Amino acid sequence: MKNCPVCGSDHLVEVVRPEEFQYQGHSATIEDYRSFECQNCGEAFPDQESVDRSEPILRDLHRQAERLLTSVEIRAIRLSLGFSQDDFGLLLGGGKKAFARYENGKVTQARSMDNLLRAVKFRPDILSVFESETSDRASNICRFVVPTQITISTSPTSSPFKLGAPVMNSDEQRSDAA
């Protein structure tokens, strides 16, 4: 960086120091955080390498504050169940690269995925809900068992939930009618 993007001054000084980030009562310090400070207007601009290096740390800071699993916890769950990143992504959803992105801090998992991971951590047997369409693990494409329709009742004397017939998509209904 040659000139200050704010004031145009060429009096920029490179500064390398620990930088503390805070979010909702949680904090993380990035050591050797490099930035450029303008001696004229006082603005500071982070170095792109420092931004890239801090991204996974800050994403985990956000996860902690939001009570989501961190990248290390997600990896530990996956490894404890013996799955590759690709296979776990195909099995649980998100695609082949989802778990690589969760674990390297490029993407934060949705709350629904976080809940599913927590459930799988404590009840690995629920993985049997998923069925593989092929036996070839390299091309493992997974699907859910047929869902059932759930009706919610507001009657105080009966159970609020009633299971109905399996839900069919429009393609299945057309083939049954033929």
**Which pLDDT does position 131 carry in this prediction?**
53
In a domain, 167, yes or no: no
pLDDT digits (tens, 9 = 90+) for 104-151: 999 999 999 999 999 999 998 888 887 543 334 434 444 433 333 444
With respect to residue 164, please indicate whether it lies within any of the assigned structural domains: no
Same domain, 80 and 139: yes
Reported confidence tier of residue 2, pLDDT bands at 50, 70, 90: confident
- Whether 38 and 92 map to the same domain: the answer is no
Predicted pLDDT of residue 140: 43
* Domain of residue 17, residue span: 12-53
Chain centroid to CA 8: 39
Q: Are residues 77 and 37 in the same domain?
A: no
pLDDT tens, position by position, 149-175: 444 444 444 444 343 444 444 444 444
**Burial of 138: CB neighbours in 10 Å, binned 0-12, 13-18, 19+:** exposed
- Evaluate if pTM is beyond 0.85: no
Task: Clarify whether residues 134 and 86 are in a common domain.
Answer: yes
- The whole-angstrom separation of Cα 67 and Cα 114 is 9
What is the total count of domains within the chain? 2
- The answer on 130 and 86 residing in a single domain is yes
pLDDT at 85 over 60: yes
pLDDT score recorded for residue 137: 43
Average pLDDT, integer, range 23-42: 94
What letter represents residue 45's amino acid? Answer: F
Same domain, 77 and 21: no
pLDDT: is 139 or 37 the higher one?
Answer: 37
The alpha carbon torsion through 98, 105, 71, 87 (nearest 10 deg) reads 20
